[in-house]
Structure 1
Amino acid sequence: MRAGTRTITATGMTTTTRTVIPMADSMAERIPDALVLLAWLSPGYPVGAYAYSHGLEWAVEAGDVRDEASLRDWLADVLEHGAGRSDAILAAHAHAAAEAGDADALVAVNDLALALSPSRELHLETSQQGRSFLDATRAAWDVPRLAALGSHLDGPVAYPVAVGAAAGAHGLDRAAVLAAYLAAFLQNLVSASLRLAPVGQTAGTRVVAALMPRAASLARAVRDLPLDEAGTATLRLDLGSFRHETQYTRIFRS
């Protein structure tokens, strides 16, 4: 932050002295983490998130999601009983493993994450984004710990595991990572809904605003849960994902 002091000299000229006021240490420490997460989880990060709807395209086709209220309810279930909650648990454990430099634990989390994918399309969604995220992050944001762990993830990588591992290797705050991940997850699905057209931009924005507090609460609730808590209970979404594979018209890969 800069403050300025104007001074009028004897010659009538005006000079300005600028003073740099340092920010509080805690704020200065948080800003880099926030900026990194904004970059990693932005729509512009090259993971191809725009190509996936996580079953939402079928839900619109089937009439389960048809307006603002039904979209909000559908996404709330996905967040709290589906991939949102499960992915956050997986990301938390990947973060802990990477922070400790424990490659075996990280590989075990990744194997579980991939095995939990209920359909071919949802497996593709998480593994393609995860692989792309890890490759892009190692190309632009690599650190020695991430490089060492990355050599153990040379095949398919689940997206939450890739994000959690990169964040843990960089020493980013776990709670902030989980909250940011869930916020990005919601925003990507709302973006998909705008293209599928059950709602417009204003309604989509209201849905995001309504669900953000629940995302923040969920991030706090799952931070220390054991790994065996990972899993989903969104049966209709899972069945819809199978049906999406043969859906007549579609613009998304899941």
Structure 2
Amino acid sequence: MAAHLPLMVWLSPSFPVGAFAYSHGLEWSFESGDLHDAQTLHDWLDALVSHGSLRNDLILFACTVRVLESRDDAALTEIAELALALANSAERRLETVTQGNAFVSALRAAWPCATVDHLKQVWPGDVAYPVAVAAASAGHGLPLPASLEAYGLAFVANLVSASVRLGIVGQTDGQKLTAALVPALRAAAAEAALSTLEDLGGCCYRSDLASLRHETQYSRLFRS
């Protein structure tokens, strides 16, 4: 259990990456009427976990850990670049690089490890969030399955929190939603642990469109 404590710190709302500022397109989806109750929100988040952006993030996470362990710098560069390319809107890119860069800065100050320093030597540019957290996990010797599950749960918890602030669901329904998505999160993490870059892909087009539409939404609480 002690091995999991760093994950609890890094992925908690108190870790200074600014996750609370992003809704991943949920704000526009609520404004447009796509999301209006617990069931529609559950279906939306379940799709992100099983077929959308979180699935890809988990695969990138697992691949990053493996190439850092094998010291394959060419593959590490490919993953770092691909993670940015998969951010298919300006706000999705902002969301992942702002959190990724902030995570690297905070980690190097408080939880230094050689793998994060090595990542920045190999890839000095912006770092996508899943790549940054994966480098920290590898550097501190944390088990991959637990790391993937924790990352996925933090993603869902943050979007549930955003949904509560938007008024889509209340706090109790939000907790019920998080609990209901745990089996899907575990399955996605287990799949990602065995996946390669060839397995990347998604089909959550409405979510992708939401991130594009949010860029011009008139009244906004969130940055994405």
**Residue 74 of structure 2 is aligned to residue 108 of structure 1:** no
Q: Give, in angstroms, the shift of residue 106 of structure 1.
A: 1.5
In structure 1, what residue type is equivalent to 2:146? A
Moved over 6 A (4+): none
Determine the structure 1 residue equivalent to 2:191: 221
Q: Give, in angstroms, the shift of residue 149 of structure 1.
A: 2.8
1:70-101 residue CA offsets vs partner (Å, 9 max, x unmatched):
11111001111111111000000111122223
* CA RMSD after TM alignment: 1.1
Answer 1 or 2: which has greater helix percent: 2
- Distance, in Å, in 2 between the alignment partners of 1:54 and 1:146 is 26
Query: In the TM superposition, what are the counterparts of 1:26-65 in structure 2 within 5 Å?
Result: 31-65=1-35
- Distance, in Å, in 2 between the alignment partners of 1:101 and 1:141 is 21
1:181 to 130, 139, 151: 151
Q: Give, in angstroms, the shift of residue 33 of structure 1.
A: 1.8
The alignment's TM-score, normalised by the length of structure 1, stands at 0.85
Determine the structure 1 residue equivalent to 2:218: 248
**Does the aligned pair in 2 maintain the 1:179–1:215 contact within 8 Å?**
yes
Determine the structure 2 residue equivalent to 1:7: none
Determine the structure 2 residue equivalent to 1:16: none
Determine the structure 2 residue equivalent to 1:126: 96
In structure 2, what residue type is equivalent to 1:207? L
Q: Give, in angstroms, the shift of residue 240 of structure 1.
A: 1.4
Larger relative contact order (CA 8 Å, sep ≥ 6): 2
1:205 to 165, 170, 175: 175
- Distance, in Å, in 2 between the alignment partners of 1:221 and 1:144 is 28
- Distance, in Å, in 2 between the alignment partners of 1:52 and 1:204 is 17
In structure 1, what residue type is equivalent to 2:5? L
Q: Note the residue ranges of structure 1 that are not aligned, 5 or more in a row.
A: 1-30
- Distance, in Å, in 1 between the alignment partners of 2:114 and 2:222 is 36
Aligned length: 224
- Distance, in Å, in 2 between the alignment partners of 1:147 and 1:248 is 40
1:96-145 residue CA offsets vs partner (Å, 9 max, x unmatched):
12222333222210101100111000011011111111111111111233
SS in 2 for 1:74: helix
**Does the aligned pair in 2 maintain the 1:95–1:166 contact within 8 Å?**
no
Determine the structure 2 residue equivalent to 1:86: 56
**Residue 46 of structure 2 is aligned to residue 76 of structure 1:** yes
Per the alignment, do residues 145 and 164 of structure 1 end up closer, same or farther by CA in structure 2, a change over 3 Å counting?
closer
SS in 1 for 2:34: coil
Determine the structure 2 residue equivalent to 1:144: 114
- Distance, in Å, in 1 between the alignment partners of 2:183 and 2:4 is 18
Determine the structure 2 residue equivalent to 1:234: 204
SS in 1 for 2:122: coil
Determine the structure 2 residue equivalent to 1:27: none
Highest CA radius of gyration, 1 or 2? 1
Q: Note the residue ranges of structure 2 that are not aligned, 5 or more in a row.
A: none
In structure 2, what residue type is equivalent to 1:238? D
- Distance, in Å, in 2 between the alignment partners of 1:128 and 1:139 is 17
- Greater shift, 104-113 or 61-70, is seen at 104-113
- Distance, in Å, in 1 between the alignment partners of 2:221 and 2:98 is 17
